[in-house]
Amino acid sequence: MTDTPPLPGLTTSNQTPYPAALPATADSLADPAKLPDDFDPFKHLQAQYIPLHNELVAHWFRDTTAAAGGNWVPNLASPRSSSRVACTMTSHDNQLIMMMRHHLFFDLLGYAKTDLFLYQGSIDAITQPVEGHPKVTLYFSQDKASIPAGGKMADMECSFRLMNYTGATYTKSLATSLANLVKTEFLFEGTGLIFPKGKNIYNYRDDAHGYRLLIRGNDEASATSIITKLLTLQEVAFDENKLSTSTPKKSNLVTTPTQQLVYGSEVNLPNYRPAANVRFRYAFVKIPGLLKNIVLFDTTGRRLALVH
């Protein structure tokens, strides 16, 4: 086995070498006599590992392939293409570079977290959506840079039912059309739409079309705007007669956080319905009979969505 070349910026004196492959034994190889004399375990591992890894990378960054007309070549023209270059393994990589590419792709960019399904509580307690109609959910969260020191991130979910469909009649084609509508309505200048969350409650109820919205906002105009966008996803017109509002007298303006002794330490108690800007992150649909949610559109790039 030939020595791997030192990495850029490192010399052979300060680069920690990887140990040579262990000699073949009866425990590690079923029949070592069948291996050729010049067998190189590392090169053999590369030949098996790299194509499988790069296939996952290509699928994750398939939008860069589409942008290149189906024939992507390594380039740094965009952040996504640059990330794909960094994740793609080559036969010239040594062990350390392969590990770094693997860590970047699976851990930092989040491929290992893709399509994880989390049960809250017992699996036996999970029931299908009400009346068996698919449920569409849009998730919003506060930008990290705007979270106050020691504060908690604000987030929000908006959901509705597709009353014209069941698990048996809803198809991937319908979901893709819905995903494109989500992208049109909730993507603004290349990033997720921002909604000003506040203490007021705006309740919009349209049972015939699957809407039982409870929006917590600052003002009626912004609440009506986002409700209208949610209705547009099913081509339903806004009806002001179906909107009711609740404006609490209690103030949500807190200058000094209230503290309480918890488990031997003073902790800040949550503020009452604090005002915060939350940004649209992703949307998914839960279909009766499927354990995994179908991700429609994701602005974070951490989930495999129908539409990019």
pLDDT at 66: 85
Between 52-61, 106-115, 179-188, 240-249, the lowest mean confidence (pLDDT) is in 106-115
Rounded alpha-carbon distances, angstroms, from residue 276 to 77, 141, 167, 265: 35, 9, 36, 27
Q: Which amino acid is at 125?
A: A
Q: At what angle do helices 172-186 and 220-232 cross, to 10 degrees?
A: 150
Could you give the angle at the alpha carbon of 222 between the alpha carbons of 208 and 253, nearest 5°?
120
253: its two tokens: 């303006």
Tokens of 50: 């790299």
Q: What is the pLDDT of residue 147?
A: 85
Residue 259, H or E segment: strand 259-262
d(CA 121, CA 225): 36
Percent of the chain with pLDDT over 90: 56
Contact 233, 182 (CB under 8 A): yes
- Checking if the pLDDT of 24 tops 80, the result is no
End-to-end, the C-alpha distance of the chain in Å comes to: 44
Report field, pTM of the whole predicted structure over 0.75: no
pLDDT at 120: 52
> What residue ranges do the domains of the chain occupy?
32-113, 123-249+272-298
191-237 residue pLDDT tens: 999 999 999 999 999 999 999 999 999 999 999 999 999 999 999 99
For residue 109, which of 87, 89, 91 has the smallest C-alpha distance? Answer: 87
**Is the pLDDT score of 176 beyond 60?**
yes
The pLDDT value given to residue 125 = 54
Whether the predicted pLDDT of 283 surpasses 80: yes
